Structures are given as C-alpha cells and as structure tokens.
C-alpha cells in the first residue's frame, strides 16, 4: 500500500532518500497530492541557504558543484542538489553522464542529488524546482544547490528562486566574454572563473569585475578563480558564499528578496492555474471556430483576434 | 518626420531593407504601432514557406544556414532569415561573431538577415518572431528561415511557428545521440548530420533514422548528410525541403498544421494580453499584501495561496 501524504511527510522530514525522491516526483506531477504535500512541507521549510550555479556549457560547472558539495561536507553540512536540464525536449532527460557521475555522491547519507527535467513549459519546471527546494530544505539539507544546464530562459527563471546565484565562466571564451557581461551582471551574486589551471584567468577576471557595480545593499559581487579539476579555490568559493549569506541576513536584503520572490511566484502560479482552468472553456465558445477561420483566411490578423479573445477571457465564468 | 505606419507598410511590401528592419523592431516593442502594422501586413502574408533550423550548439548550424541561403539564391529565390538567440539574458544579444558573419549576406539585395534577442519571456520572443516572419513573408521573401541558437524551451516554441523544422546534428556526440533521439523525433521534419567531412556519419544517420516513424500524412522524415564547410549535401537538403513543401501542400497537412498553429497562437497571445492587463489590478487588491505576508510567515503555502488568487483573477473586472 502506498504511504499517505502524512506518512510520506514524516519520512521526508527525517531526510530519508527514498521519501525525498518520491516527494519530488509528486511535485513534478502537479496533482492533488502535490498540493496536500506542500501544505505539510512548507511550514517546515525556510531555513536552508539556496545556491544556484549557472553559466554557459563547457565551463566545468558540474565538476565545480561536485567539489562545492565536498567542501560543504567537510564543514559538516548536509547538502541537497537539484540538477536541472531545461533542454529535455531534446535530450529526453538530463544528460546521462552527468547524472551518473553525480549519483556517486548520493551513496553518502547526507548528500541528496536529484536531476529534474521537464517536457512542459519553463514555468512548470521552475514551479516544480521551487517546491523541490522546499522539500530538501524541510528535510534539513542546508545548503540546497541548484545546478542548471546551459544558458537560457529557464536558467534565468531558476536564478530568481535561489538566495545566491554563482555564475561560472572560464577564460578564453573570446568575444563572448564581453557580450556575456551585460546579462550576467544582473543575475550573478558571485562570479567564478573556472579551469584556472588551464589558462591564466586574470584578464577574464578583470573583464568581469570591471562590469560589476556595488549593489544598493552594499554587496559587491566578488570574482573568484577555481580549478574544479585540481580542487583549488573551492574553499574560497564556499567562504565567499557564507559571507554573502551573512551579508544578506544582516542587511535585510534576504527578507526583501524573499518578498519579491514570493510575489512573483504567486502571480505566476495563479495565472498558470487560471489558464489551465479556463482554456478549454475559451476554446469551447461558439465563436471560437469562426474566429480561427477568419484568421486562417487572412480576414483578421492574429493580434486583433487575440485582443478580442482577451476580452472574452475576462467574461469566462469560473 | 517618422513615416506613418501606412507609409512604412508600403516600403515593407517593396522589400526595402531599412523598412524591414524598422518594422521588425516595431513588432519587438509590442506597442500600439505593432498592432496597426500587423493589421496592414497580415493580409499580404501567408505565401512564404517557413523553415526552422535547430539542434544543439557546435554542429555548424549557422554555416549550414549560410550555405542553404546561397543554394536558394542560386535558384533565384529571395530569402529572409531570422537568427534567434534566446540566451540573450546571458549574452546581451545574439553572439556578435555570428551576427557579423551573417550580415555579409545582407549586402545582397535579395537576402535579408536579422537577429532577434529578447530579455523578456520566451513567449514574447516567439510572438515577435511570428510577426517578423509575416513581415518578411509580405515583403516577398520565400523561403523565410528561422535559426535558433542552442536547444531549449524557446527553440521548441519557435519550431511550432514554422512549416518545416530541420534538426541539425553531427556525428560523435556520444551518449547524447541516443538521448537526443527521444525529443528530436517529435519536432524534426528533416534531419541533417553536418560536418560529415570530419567523421563518417553513417552510424549517427542510422541511429537517428531508426528512431523515426512514418507520419500520419505519409511523410517519413529523411536523414541527410552535409558538410557546410565543403558545401556538400546542401543542394540535396534544399531539394528535400522543396519536396517536403510539396508534400504538405498536396496532403492537406500544411492547412491542418496552419489551423493548429493559429489556435495555439491565439490562445497564447490572448492570455498574455489578459495577464498584462490584469496583473497590476491583482496586486492592487486590498488583501494582496496580507496574503504575501502570510506566505512569508509560512502560515499558508504558495500553492494554496496561488489557487486562492486564481479565483480572484476570475473576478477581476476588465
């Protein structure tokens, strides 16, 4: 017999790996059980420091996450990790090599690693990820690390769900470094130039740093160098992360950011639910087929037709 | 004095490059002018065959698009190209190298290339791309080619806006090939193994082909090999594209797909407009702050709060 949501919650709070895996799967399905589970889990969450690792592919991000886990373990911390692969429509899931390599950690009791992939919308993936973070948080994992594969819309969305975003770069990306800067400065709280054993990172570090400003709360994002391969610089990265954690706690920016994040999440989730509840009714309206026909015959353009529909949506009875 | 929307439309219909660039910029802003412009442009669109090139990075996709443009030019066709870079939050725009290289074509009167990037949502980018395609179409460009950078949510969305999707792969992606197959088979109408001069593509071609089925309309996606570097196989690709175009016209699948695409576009655009029109009012409700506070204090979980809000959205008066 399947355990009840209450029983599952008890096992989650004890940090049992099978329960964590099961609970995260439930959050991915977004059914009735996911809502019941979140009701029980959410009051027990909110303690973990959450860290996102992001940046272009090929910078050794996964290896750096591995070393960061090890460093946190040395410091006696229990670590939860979500590896998110938004390109799953192409890969049919997170890349196998990565997943297997990461799973080596999961033999350890105090490290839990899970890959998440979604064929659904980016919004749906972000929603499941936020709730999966809460599950690991309630299970006593701290920090919870979110690693995203590649660079794109989903990564930006995931970045808005964590306390600290680490942007991982490397030297010799050529033209890209310049171009990257513009967008990166907005989402990175810490910057890392990895693979520093291969190429002298000084110039890249300088380029990045010169694009960064001190934030309103007094934080200036540091630019660090690491070699995940040789394990150098990782302790420094974890020190910087902990310094940032202290900074946002002391300057009230964590609370402020938490409010902004919750507001964004509520709006996004509510509209997504509203959409799911009303879209069939919209398509069931008697003039729906007629409107589509008129657009297909180029009698009315899609923008005009859509704004007519937007008015119809307002009148749909829940 | 800025030209009126009517004047701009006349210049667009003549295929003048500056007018095309201006018109596409207007579509990106999504203002009042964009709606006026689409009203005038849309009745003149609907003739072009639209082709999307997608697939993982590093497969030489951009070079293959370049060669495809050349091949279509040899056949006396005017070609419109949109290069879409959804990772713009990271890059601050399409990668410069690519853009500059592609612009070399734009010196030619009958080729128009434009890169599009968006810091907004993936949905907004898809919407602007659809309307930009219509502008190039109305200007007499045929085919209109859409090239997406990388593999992710946006690419999948863009794939749903074109008539034919070409998935570009290469040999020796190792484990990925197997994994890729699952998702690729769903969006590809033609498959290309590029860089066939570097590695024997037979095994990769076989792997891909073995995952493909004949579609309901009788089309079996072909697997082709090209070397964009050496220019081999490109004429064969264009032949296959034209064969596909003929196939979907003759089997009524183009019309069927057009309906499905318009339905999806109308729903997506209408909900997006509805969101923009109502979200401020939602946040202005008197119990909004209270609800956010309760979530922040962990008195109510976000899923429950969001479903309350979804009910509120229904009652918002347009």
pLDDT per residue as tens, chain B (318 positions): 567 999 999 999 999 999 999 999 999 887 788 999 999 999 999 999 999 998 777 788 888 999 999 999 999 999 999 988 655 444 434 444 454 455 555 567 789 988 887 555 667 778 888 999 999 999 999 999 998 865 555 566 666 789 999 988 887 655 445 445 546 677 889 999 999 888 888 888 888 888 888 988 999 999 999 999 899 999 999 999 999 999 999 998 888 888 999 999 999 899 988 998 899 989 988 889 999 999 999 999 999 999 899 888 888 764
The pLDDT score that the predictor gives to residue A255 is: 87
* ipTM for the whole complex: 0.82
Structural domain boundaries in chain A: 45-251, 263-315
DSSP state of A17: H
Name the percent of chain A lying above pLDDT 90: 47
- Per the prediction, chain A carries an average pLDDT of 84
Taking contacts as CB-CB distances below 8 angstroms, the residues of chain A near B23 are none
The pLDDT score that the predictor gives to residue A62 is: 85
B253-284 helix and B234-250 helix, angle to the nearest 10 degrees: 90
Rounded to a whole number of angstroms, the distance from the CA of A230 to the nearest CA of chain B is 26
Tell me the DSSP string of B239-279.
HHHHHHHHHHHHTTHHHHHHHHHHHHHHHHHHHHHHHHHHH
Q: A278-295 pLDDT, tens per residue?
A: 999 899 888 899 999 999
Which CATH topology does B46-251 take? Rossmann fold (3.40.50)
Q: A238 near A71, Cβ under 8 Å?
A: yes
Q: A191-245 pLDDT, tens per residue?
A: 999 998 888 888 888 888 888 889 889 999 999 999 998 999 999 999 999 999 9
How far is it, in rounded angstroms, from Cα B255 to Cα B251?
A: 9
The pLDDT score that the predictor gives to residue B203 is: 85
Rounded to a whole number of angstroms, the distance from the CA of B36 to the nearest CA of chain A is 9
Please name the residue of chain B whose CA is at the shortest distance from the CA of residue A307.
B270
What is the dotted CATH code of the domain comprising A45-251?
A: 3.40.50.300
Q: Greater confidence, A26 or A159?
A: A26
B306:A265 CB<8 A: yes
Q: A37 near A27, Cβ under 8 Å?
A: yes
B176:A95 CB<8 A: yes
Taking contacts as CB-CB distances below 8 angstroms, the residues of chain A near B301 are 38-39, 41-43
Taking contacts as CB-CB distances below 8 angstroms, the residues of chain A near B265 are 302, 306
Banded model confidence at residue A141, pLDDT cuts 50, 70, 90: very high
Q: A250-262 pLDDT, tens per residue?
A: 998 888 888 999 9
* Residue B231 half-sphere exposure toward CB, CA atoms < 13 A: 4
Residue of A306, A308, A311 to mutate for B, most B C-beta atoms under 10 A: A306
How many Cβ atoms sit within 10 Å of the Cβ of residue B137?
22
Please name the residue of chain B whose CA is at the shortest distance from the CA of residue A47.
B298
Q: Which of B131, B114, B110 is nearest to B36 (CA)?
A: B131
Q: Which of A174, A273, A306 sits opposite B266 (nearest CB)?
A: A306
The pLDDT score that the predictor gives to residue B180 is: 59
The pLDDT score that the predictor gives to residue B58 is: 74
How far is it, in rounded angstroms, from Cα A101 to Cα B108?
A: 50
Taking contacts as CB-CB distances below 8 angstroms, the residues of chain B near A55 are 90
How far is it, in rounded angstroms, from Cα B151 to Cα B55?
A: 6
A312:B266 CB<8 A: no
B91:A176 CB<8 A: yes
Taking contacts as CB-CB distances below 8 angstroms, the residues of chain B near A174 are 97
Please name the residue of chain A whose CA is at the shortest distance from the CA of residue B178.
A91
Taking the mean position of all CA atoms in its chain, how far away is CA A159? 5
Q: Is the pLDDT of residue A297 over 70?
A: yes
Q: Which of B35, B283, B314 sits opposite A304 (nearest CB)?
A: B35
The pLDDT score that the predictor gives to residue B122 is: 63
Rounded to a whole number of angstroms, the distance from the CA of B246 to the nearest CA of chain A is 20
Rounded to a whole number of angstroms, the distance from the CA of A199 to the nearest CA of chain B is 22
pTM of the model: 0.79
Residue in this structure with the two tokens 């004047």, named with its chain if needed: B7
Rounded to a whole number of angstroms, the distance from the CA of A135 to the nearest CA of chain B is 13
Let me know if A151 is exposed, middle or buried by CB neighbors in 10 A (0-12, 13-18, 19+).
buried
Average pLDDT over residues A41-68: 89
Average pLDDT over residues A22-45: 90
A179:B96 CB<8 A: yes
Average pLDDT over residues A132-148: 95
Rounded to a whole number of angstroms, the distance from the CA of B221 to the nearest CA of chain A is 17
The pLDDT score that the predictor gives to residue B109 is: 78
């Amino acid at each position: 017999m399947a355990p009840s949501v209450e029983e599952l919650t008890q096992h989650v709070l004890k940090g049992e790996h099978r329960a964590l895996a099961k609970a995260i799967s439930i959050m991915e399905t977004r059914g009735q059980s996911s809502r019941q589970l979140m009701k029980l889990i959410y009051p027990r969450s909110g303690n973990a420091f959450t860290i996102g690792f992001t940046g272009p592919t090929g910078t050794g991000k996964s290896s750096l996450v591995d070393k960061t886990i090890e460093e946190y373990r040395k410091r006696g911390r229990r670590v939860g990790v979500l590896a998110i692969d938004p390109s799953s429509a192409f890969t049919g899931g997170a890349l196998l090599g990565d997943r297997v390599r990461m799973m080596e950690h999961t033999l350890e009791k105090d490290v839990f690693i899970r890959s998440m992939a979604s064929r659904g919308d980016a919004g749906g993936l972000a929603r499941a990820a936020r709730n999966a973070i809460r599950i690991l948080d309630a299970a006593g994992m701290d920090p919870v690390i979110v690693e995203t594969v590649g660079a794109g819309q989903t990564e930006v969305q995931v970045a808005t769900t964590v306390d600290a975003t680490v942007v991982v770069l490397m030297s010799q990306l050529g033209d890209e470094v310049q171009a990257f800067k513009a967008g990166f400065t907005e989402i990175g709280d810490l910057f890392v130039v990895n693979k520093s054993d291969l190429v002298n990172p000084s110039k890249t570090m300088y380029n990045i740093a010169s694009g960064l400003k001190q934030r309103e709360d007094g934080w200036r994002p540091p630019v660090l160098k690491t070699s995940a391969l040789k394990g150098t610089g990782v302790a420094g990265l974890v020190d910087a992360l902990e310094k940032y954690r202290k900074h946002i706690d002391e300057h009230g920016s964590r609370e402020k950011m938490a409010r902004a994040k919750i507001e964004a999440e509520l709006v996004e989730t509510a509209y997504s639910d509203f959409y799911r509840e009303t879209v069939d009714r919209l398509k069931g309206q008697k003039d729906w087929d007629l409107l589509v026909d008129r657009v297909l015959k180029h009698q009315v353009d899609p923008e005009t037709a859509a704004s007519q529909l937007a008015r119809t949506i307002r009148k749909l009875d829940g």
